[in-house]
């Protein structure tokens, strides 16, 4: 379990990851925000910033499955 983790990147922006609901029963991603903006895809290119994960007890098998959100 971790509510907040920081990846220290000397010379670049740090990456801060939060997942306040993280526990043995909340292990599925329900939503992700990068610097406050919702992410619809299941991948990202990150040069630092804040990733906020909202976790749930049940998997969402529809989340991030739209072909238009796949990396090119």
Whole-Å CA distances, 48 to 24, 35, 64: 28, 9, 22
Indicate whether 69 pLDDT > 80.
no
The domain spans of the chain are: 4-57
Residue 3 near residue 26, CB atoms below 8 Å: no
- The confidence score (pLDDT) of residue 1 equals 52
Whole-Å CA distances, 15 to 26, 40, 69: 22, 19, 23
The per-residue pLDDT for range 31-64, each reduced to its tens digit, is: 999 999 998 888 888 889 999 999 999 998 887 7
- The confidence score (pLDDT) of residue 33 equals 95
């Amino acid at each position: 379990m971790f509510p907040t983790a920081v990846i220290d990147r000397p010379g670049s922006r740090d990456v801060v990851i939060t997942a306040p609901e993280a526990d043995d029963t909340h292990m599925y991603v329900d939503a992700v925000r990068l610097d406050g903006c919702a992410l619809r895809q299941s991948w990202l290119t990150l040069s630092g910033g804040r990733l906020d994960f909202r976790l749930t007890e049940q998997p969402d098998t529809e989340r991030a499955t739209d072909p238009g959100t796949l990396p090119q």
